[in-house]
A = this chain, B = another copy of it.
Amino acid sequence: MANKPPRRAAELDERVYAKALVKLQIELVKLQRELIACGERILVLIEGRDAAGKDGAIKHIIEHLSPRETRVVALGPPSDRERHSWYFQRYVRYLPSAGEMVLFNRSWYNRAGVEPVMGFCTRREAREFLETVPDFERMLVRSGIKLFKYYLDIDRHEQRRRLAARRRDPLKQWKLSPVDAKAQKLWRQYSAARDVMFRRTHTEIAPWTVIRADDKHQARLNLIRDLLSRLDYRDRDKRLIKPERDIVFPFEPRFLADGSIAR
C-alpha cells in the first residue's frame, strides 16, 4: 500500500490558480498596509520536508509586499562561533520590529528535524531544544509578536517525484544537497522526528498548522488564506479566505502509513 501513490485531487486549472493567487496577494497588500500602520510584528515559520514547496510558497507570499517591511530569513549552517553560542541567538537577531513581517524558511525547528535525523546535533541538544522551545515561543508571543507556524506536508511518492525532477532541472541545481539525497532514505526517521516535534511544540499560544502540499498551487492558496484569516485588517474580501479542505485544522493529525498526514 505504501508503494502505491494515493489518488490525488485533480490539480487546479492554471488560470483559476493564477486568478485566485492575485486576489489573495491583493489581500496581503492590504494586510501589510495595516500592519505597518499599527506597528504589528509578524513572524511566520515555514517548515516542511525537503521539496515540500517552502521556497515557492514564500516567494508567492512576498511577491508584492514592500521589501523594506518584509524579510525572508533562510540561515545557512551555523558558523563555528554560532555553534558555541546560545542556540536561539542567531535567530533572535532577525525577529520582526514594528511593522515588519518576517518569514523564516526553516527555522529553529531544524533542531527538531534535520539536525537530529542527520546527526548534526547530539541527542541531548535535541531533547534540550524540545523542552525549551515552548518557553521561548511564549516569551515572543507575550512580547507582542504574532507567531504562525506552518508545516507543509507531502507524501513519499510526491517527494520522490520532485527530487528526481529537481536533479534533472538545470535551474534547480543549487537546491541539490547531500541532505536531500537522504530525504527518501530517512523518510521514517523524519516522520518520527516530526511527530515528536508536533507533540512537544504544538501549544495553545503557538500552534502548528499543517498544510497538505502535494498540490503546490492549492497549498500556496491555502497557506495564504489561513494566514489572512487569522489577522485583522480593513477592506477584507471575506469570500476569499473561507477555510478550505487540505488544511489540517484544528490540529489533530492522523498519520498515514507513508508518514504523511491524513486529510
Other 18 A-B pairs with CB < 8 A, given A29-B171, A33-B173, A92-B93: A26-B170, A26-B171, A29-B173, A41-B84, A64-B174, A66-B174, A66-B175, A67-B74, A68-B76, A68-B174, A81-B97, A85-B97, A86-B140, A88-B139, A89-B95, A92-B92, A131-B142, A132-B142
A contacts with B, residue count (CB < 8 A):
49
Q: When chains A and B are docked, how far (Å) is the Cα of A151 from the Cα of B131?
A: 30
Query: Which residues of chain B have C-beta atoms less than 8 A from A174's C-beta?
Result: 29, 32-33, 64-66, 68-69
Asked if A135 is at the interface (CB within 8 A of a chain B CB), the reply is yes
The minimal Cβ–Cβ distance linking A30 to chain B, given in whole angstroms, is 8
Query: Which residues of chain B have C-beta atoms less than 8 A from A142's C-beta?
Result: 128, 131-132
- Given the contacts A64-B171, A84-B39, A84-B97, A138 and B135 also touching, CB distance less than 8 Å: yes
Interface residues of A in 1-59 (CB under 8 A from B): 22, 25-26, 29, 32-33, 39, 41
18 pairs from A and B in contact (CB 8 Å cutoff):
A22-B171, A25-B171, A26-B171, A29-B171, A64-B172, A64-B174, A67-B74, A81-B97, A84-B98, A85-B95, A86-B92, A86-B95, A87-B143, A88-B92, A89-B92, A128-B143, A132-B143, A135-B135
Asked if A255 is at the interface (CB within 8 A of a chain B CB), the reply is no
- Using a CB–CB cutoff of 8 Å, the interface residues on chain A facing chain B are 22, 25-26, 29, 32-33, 39, 41, 64-69, 74, 76, 79, 81-82, 84-89, 92-93, 95-99, 128, 131-132, 135-136, 138-140, 142-143, 145, 170-175
The minimal Cβ–Cβ distance linking A39 to chain B, given in whole angstroms, is 6
Q: When chains A and B are docked, how far (Å) is the Cα of A32 from the Cα of B173?
A: 10
By beta carbon, the residue of chain B nearest A65 is B174
